[in-house]
Structure 1
Amino acid sequence: MTDEIKIKSDTSPVKIQPAKSSRNQTSPSGKRIYMRAVQGVYQTVRRRMGIFFMAAFMLLPWIQYQGKQAILLDVANQEFNIFAVTLWPQDLMFLVWILIIAAFALFFVTAFLGRVWCGYMCPQTVWTFIFIWFEEKIEGTRHQRMKLDEQAMSAQKFSKKALKHFCWILFSLHTSLTFIGYFTDISQLYIDFFTFSASFAVTLWVLFFTFCTYGNAGWMREIMCTHICPYARFQSAMFDKDTFTVSYNAERGEKRGPRSRKADPAKLGLGDCIDCNLCVQVCPTGIDIRNGLQYECINCGACIDACDGVMDKMGYQKGLISYTTERQLNGGKTQVLRFKLIAYAIVLAVMTTLFANALYSRKPFDLDIIRDRNQLFRENFNGHIENTYTLKIMNKSQSAAVYDLTTTELADKTQWIGAQQIEVAAGDVANLPVSLVVDPALLSEPVTDFYFKITMKPVGEKPITLYEESRFFNRL
């Protein structure tokens, strides 16, 4: 294989080098990639996955749950509603769990299938292909777009360019409004924005994300993947000889050269590659996969579909370009179950299990205990010892609830001064000052550990009890 990548061992990182020189055909400025449309198995999968996740992104903010927006990440009020679950800043650990799980899922997928996240699910890729779809529908095929750009400005060229950019901006605006709709009431957002009633901050954010979407998917495109995204740079640390990547079988394809369909390539001293350059023309990052593994490759499989189509027309076996491993290209057998992959899978499974357990065991309320900072205790006129506390009760559920409070260990020794039952509205925090009075003769230690017991009584549901440790100070 030309430009073969040398790997020290099965689990050592791969050195991914840039392509040599066979770039996609560009505009006279040498900066633009004109991507050619291609049909095939992998592009069908990519399109369907893109449609599914795009539909999910666009529709989720509009779903209602119990009369409210099902997913509403209300940053201003520090309240994050996800269907029946309401998360608060105190639940930040769940976000940490999600990020850790996402990281190990990415490591696992990359070690197994290379950079398929970039090729099939990355928002940059999905939005870029949508913008290219607008471009194809308005300006025509790859050849027609190149010819149009070479023409002098005319009424026809101006109208096509204006319509294309109008569609790009309109879709970018819709994307921005949908994204902002995850953080505020989306139905009211659309009304306020288009009636010019939205606040300055909301308007600024909508315009900012509109500009970012338009710039990234319309103009920067492959630049985001090849120069800005850090994933392209550190992905090689997760590659090894058994990672499935889009690869060209040089042993079968070389020597390249054109020929007729009826010609025998063996008699001509040629391989199966007819050097049609379609694999370069369909590549969204403009590389030539025949130059070997390159960090710009996003594993989208477009070159596979293009090459398979050519092989089919020529009557050759498909798979000249395919998802394969370096070990298999070198005549070996791919080791799917290997230490690195198993380790990633185990860590991912453990993290997911711990996260699910933490989420399942999460209490829908919380209790913080704040002692009187002025004095640890005071002695009343009866000679009894009094400790004062402020109980902060947070209702993290989506409905009002009644809470009963008492103590353990001191329950039969103490006098409770203050309310022992309180109702807290959904998402609200109630401060309840209480005092505990104990006869010092009943206490054997200067400091006694005990628990506040709080029982939540949600309407129509079983009571939930929580214990929070505290201390009672006697005479020292």
Structure 2
Amino acid sequence: MVDKQKIDVKNIPVDVHVYRPDTPAKYASRDRIYVRAVKGLHQSLRRNMGFVFMALFFVLPWLQFDGHQAILLNIVEQKFTIFGLTLWPQDFTLLAWIFIIAAYALFFVTTFYGRVWCGYLCPQSVWTFIFMWFEEKIQGTRNQRMTLDQAPMSASKFWKKALTHFCWVAFALFTSLIFVGYFTPIAPLFWDFFTLQAGFWAVVSVLFFTVCTYGNAGWMREIMCTHICPYARFQSAMFDKDTYTVTYDERRGENRGPRSRKDQHYKEQGLGDCIDCNLCVHVCPTGIDIRNGLQYECINCGACIDACDDTMEKMGYPKGLISYTTEHTLQGKPAKVLRPKLIGYFLVLLVVCAAFVVNLTIRKPLELDIIRDRGALYRETPEGLIENTYTLSIINKSQQEKTFMLAVTGIDQLNWAGPQQVVLAGGESRNVVVSLSLDPFYAKKPVLDLTFSVTDSADPAVTMSQENKFFAGR
């Protein structure tokens, strides 16, 4: 017989004590970031790239192609013109492929070189740097702007602040007019807006984007990058130890401390190459200290690299204390450029690019949709024939005038009533009403199959067919 062991029973208190702070939590208000101007290789590259793509943004809607605006995304007419290509709602799969390509291109670049998109080409960053340029030219350097903000209001301060905000609003308005000009003819938009003849929605759209641009680039700035943009949150999923990011070489830089330029024995004092000048913090548009390690606020603009390289050059030290490098490189290990994640993103990018090209190639500059008469499936004519009525919706997706031939097959002895040739201008759509009649003697079944076809008279290879039904009524 097995002895039973007695288990002691303990009373466990069930009272829950909630400890509350004596005072409510206080959240620190946002400190304004005064960005210091810096020159260097990376900032020259960023400015030049921003200038090129901004010039494209401003110029493209003004270009003319074959007698029309080269790029016009007409939402009202649901017709999107891109040079020689006209897209309709039926072509939204192409737009989906473009977004997929852009996403995987961003993933590929981020895995290889970090958030360079944010630092060099993101519209939020580009417009923010432009607004900062206005600030610097009107209000002065970083220290002068800080002094100006701390000074009491005066005529000089009011004038500088007013001129700064006027330039911000003017540039935001110009930007908004250009942006809205992608969705409505841009030349009439400018004229009508400034002569107060523009339509309600055009004015609302321009003013809305003006306020958004002014608020984002003038006031919110780094808040968009650190709190609103989702890219900063999921970017770490694409990083690995071989991703090139802006990084501070802690082994070389620590311990930090000021010293004279002539002091060549600083290492004997336990100091590293970092002289703790804080210029890397002063030039950062998001206000972080890169020496604290990789942070999601970093947009990889390289401003801290240029500032640090300039300091190292003045001190007579080697450049590269802050640089684009990998974690493996800092650990003394070789960086692997070709790795499974990067290759995977590249292969997927090739596949989606190929899918886009295939879809664009097989796309026909013609669309056909058939709508039956909803009032009656069929009717009997005075001559004793059975008649079905159809509406053929034809869209000429090309930008040239086309002549289309209409035909029907599948049933013998059909009588056609309606136009069999339609001339459509480029981008025009038209509904063509067609009536088909049949002698009941030839109707072998109550429902017969037929096929409508629309063919380009100049190019028979461009044809569109669609099946439908003919109701014989017995």
Does the aligned pair in 2 maintain the 1:36–1:281 contact within 8 Å? yes
Task: Please give the residue correspondences for 1:379-394 in structure 2 after superposition, counting only pairs within 5 Å.
Answer: 386-394=387-395
- Name 1:317's counterpart in structure 2: 318
The structure showing larger relative contact order (alpha-carbon pairs under 8 Å, at least 6 residues apart) is 1
The residue type paired with residue 144 of structure 1 is Q
Contact 1:249 1:320 in 2 (8 A): yes
Give 3-state SS (helix, strand or coil) of 1:196's partner.
Answer: coil
Distance change (3 Å), C-alpha of 1:475 and 1:190? closer
CA deviation after TM superposition for structure 1 residue 445, in Å: 6.2
Q: Separation in 2 of the partners of 1:363 and 1:43?
A: 46
Q: Is the Cα–Cα contact under 8 Å of residues 246 and 323 in structure 1 kept in the other structure? A: yes
Partner of 1:202: 202
Note if 1:51 corresponds to 2:46: no
Identical aligned residues as a percent? 63
CA drift at 1:30: 6.2
For 2:213, the aligned partner's letter is T
- In the alignment, structure 1 segments of 5+ residues that lack a partner are 1-28
Paired residue secondary structure (2:176)? helix
Following the alignment from structure 2 to structure 1, what is the Cα–Cα distance between the partners of residues 124 and 250? Answer: 31
1:343-383 deviations in Å (ceiling 9; x for gaps): 11111111111112212222222111123345545666887
Q: Distance in 1 between matches of 2:270 and 2:370?
A: 84
Question: 5 Å matches for 1:208-247?
Answer: 208-247=208-247
Q: In 2, distance between residues paired with 1:41 and 1:90?
A: 46
Give the drift of 1:204. 2.2
CA contact (8 A) 1:457 1:463 kept: no
Of 347-356 and 464-473, deviating more is 464-473
Displacement of 1:390 after TM fit? Answer: 2.0
CA distance in 1, matches of 2:418, 2:204: 49
Structure 1 residues 445 and 339: CA distance shift in structure 2, 3 A: farther
Structure 2 unpaired stretches of 5+: 1-28
In 2, Cα distance between equivalents of 1:336 and 1:444:
70
Alignment of 1:327-476 (within 5 A): 327-377=328-378, 386-410=387-411, 413-438=413-438, 447-457=447-457, 464-473=462-471
Q: Secondary structure at the match of 1:422?
A: strand
Residue 125 of structure 1: how far off its partner (Å):
0.4
Q: Distance in 1 between matches of 2:297 and 2:72?
A: 36
Secondary structure class of the residue paired with 2:469: strand
- For 1:244-282, what per-residue CA distance to the aligned partner results, in whole angstroms no more than 9, with x for missing partners? 111111111111111222322321211111111111111
Bigger-Rg structure (1/2): 2
The equivalences for 1:151-190 within 5 A come to 151-190=151-190
- TM-superposition CA deviations, 1:273-309 (whole Å, max 9, x none): 1111111111000000000010100010111111111
2:309 aligned partner, one-letter code? D
* Residues 435-444 or 307-316, more deviating: 435-444
The residue identity in structure 2 corresponding to 1:296 is E
Q: 1:147 to 1:358 in 2, by over 3 A?
A: same
Aligned pairs, how many? 446
**Residues 440 and 342 of structure 1: CA distance in aligned 2, closer, same or farther (over 3 Å):** farther
Question: Does the CA-based 8 Å contact 2:366-2:463 persist in structure 1?
Answer: no
Is residue 87 from structure 1 mapped to residue 87 from structure 2 by the alignment?
yes
TM-score by length of 2: 0.88
Q: For residue 162 of structure 1, give the secondary structure of its aligned residue in structure 2.
A: helix
Q: Which amino acid aligns with 2:48?
A: R
- Shifted more, 147-156 versus 375-384: the winner is 375-384
